[in-house]
A = this chain, B = another copy of it.
Amino acid sequence: MADLKTQIEALGPAARDAARLLAVSGTAERNRLLLTLADLLEREQAAITAANGEDLARGRQAGLSAALLDRLELNPRRLAALTRGVREVAALADPLADADRVLKDWTRPNGLRLQKVRVPIGVIGLIYESRPNVTIDASVLCLKTGNAAILRGGKEAIHSNRALVDVIGQAAVSAGFPREVVSLVPVTDREAIPILCGMDRYIDLLIPRGGHGLVETVVEHARMPVLKHYNGICHVYVHADADFGMAERIIINAKCQRPGVCNAAETLLVDKAVARQFLPLMVKSLRAQKVRVLGDAAASESLGEQLPEPADWETEYLDLILAVSVVDGLSAAIDHIEKHGSHHTDTIVTNSESAAREFLRRVDSSAVFWNASTRFNDGGEFGFGAEIGISTDKLHARGPMALEELTSYKYIGRGNGQIRG
């Protein structure tokens, strides 16, 4: 344990030094690193897929599910997509470029000129689970924005991650940066997480991406700021004035288009006034898409069929399951969302502008939509180019966390001898 601690803590000072160099580097230098990385991912394809093959073999031996093995796999097609993604990020506008970094520029009556300027955050710690593509995606976003990264990937992907971080290190060195701009926690022990959580001198921000247990461990132990990319208990509320056809299309999309992601809907709230008309059509349509429908007593009654009751209203099913509750008007819908939601994404379907306005104003979630699918709460769909995840926190970054959200700021003041009176 002492050895483990020493080994992990040694990553801190090296990452900090690398971050200091990144912080004064230019857009072109950082993009060169990214483009070199893209080239190397192509050149080293055989080594990477071989390392990934070892993870897959061990995973099969350990009896991982087919779904988990699929998440783990890094075949040539996926590697090519990953490489394309790296080149796309390199081509994105740099929030630290001279044209964009000055956020505010003003001069005080005493002549002191002040600027608020964008700077990198510093060292970002990323704790994630099985998918090795996160190793590249997350590193690339950190590097683009001048941040060093310390990664703690899942134990199932350790060989893949080692190979990928090795390639990142080669790209860094060849672009004139230290290898330690990205480092990988060399061990897969669960104890690594509390150790990282204590390194607040060297890690400026921790981002946990994963299930409840992982996020809980980080929240429990972290001494530094944490941005949680937590679960999405997302709601679609069908208001009394909804267009039923539109409501149906939005609900099917929000639930079925990709049920395993955080901005998929888990709960349908139907206004009491229209439940009897709407629910039979909607449930039929959901079942045609193989969705299992759960519901409260009022939903069963409106439907004229006994639905299984959900165990609670706070489960992220990540599957073709939808819980339906009948609510008595707009305020009851908002109260349900406040009580059971995760402040991620919620949608109202209505033709009433006043109802929509009230919903948009009162619902306290990272994205609140009127007549659109919950699935739009996404960096790509917002036009941000890329995202490291959807923050369910309210400070610093809320919703899609893209390049700008990976930066901080500082104040610069230029005087000619000003002192305070």
List A residues at the B interface (Cβ < 8 Å): 20, 23-24, 106, 108, 112, 114, 119, 121-122, 200, 204-205, 219-220, 223, 225-227, 243, 246, 249-250, 252-254, 257, 338, 356, 360-362, 364-373, 375-377, 381-383, 393-396, 398-399, 408-420
Contacts and interface: CB of A to CB of B under 8 A. Distances in A.
Given A219-B200, A225-B225, A414-B356, A383 B419 contact: no
A117 to B, nearest CB: 9
A250 B417 contact: yes
A225 B121 contact: no
B410 A365 contact: yes
A257 B420 contact: yes
Given A204-B394, A223-B219, A412 B368 contact: yes
Nearest to A399: B411
Contacts of A204: 394-395
A367 B413 contact: yes
Which of A219, A356, A373, A417 has its CB near the most chain B CB atoms (within 10 A)? A417
A368 B361 CA distance: 39
A375 B420 contact: yes
A249 B417 contact: yes
B420 A253 contact: yes
Contact of A257 (B119, B373, B413, B419): B419
B417 A372 contact: yes
A123 to B, nearest CB: 10
13 contacts: A108-B383, A112-B381, A205-B394, A225-B393, A249-B419, A253-B419, A367-B412, A368-B412, A368-B413, A370-B415, A371-B415, A371-B416, A396-B396
B418 A371 contact: yes
Given A249-B417, A394-B204, A364 B23 contact: yes
A383 B413 contact: no
A409 B398 contact: yes
Given A395-B205, A396-B395, A410-B399, A364 B253 contact: no
Which of A112, A257, A369, A394 has its CB near the most chain B CB atoms (within 10 A)? A394
Nearest to A417: B246
Given A114-B382, A383-B108, A419-B373, A411 B364 contact: no
Contacts of A250: 417, 419
B395 A408 contact: yes
A228 to B, nearest CB: 10
A370 B111 CA distance: 12
A340 to B, nearest CB: 12
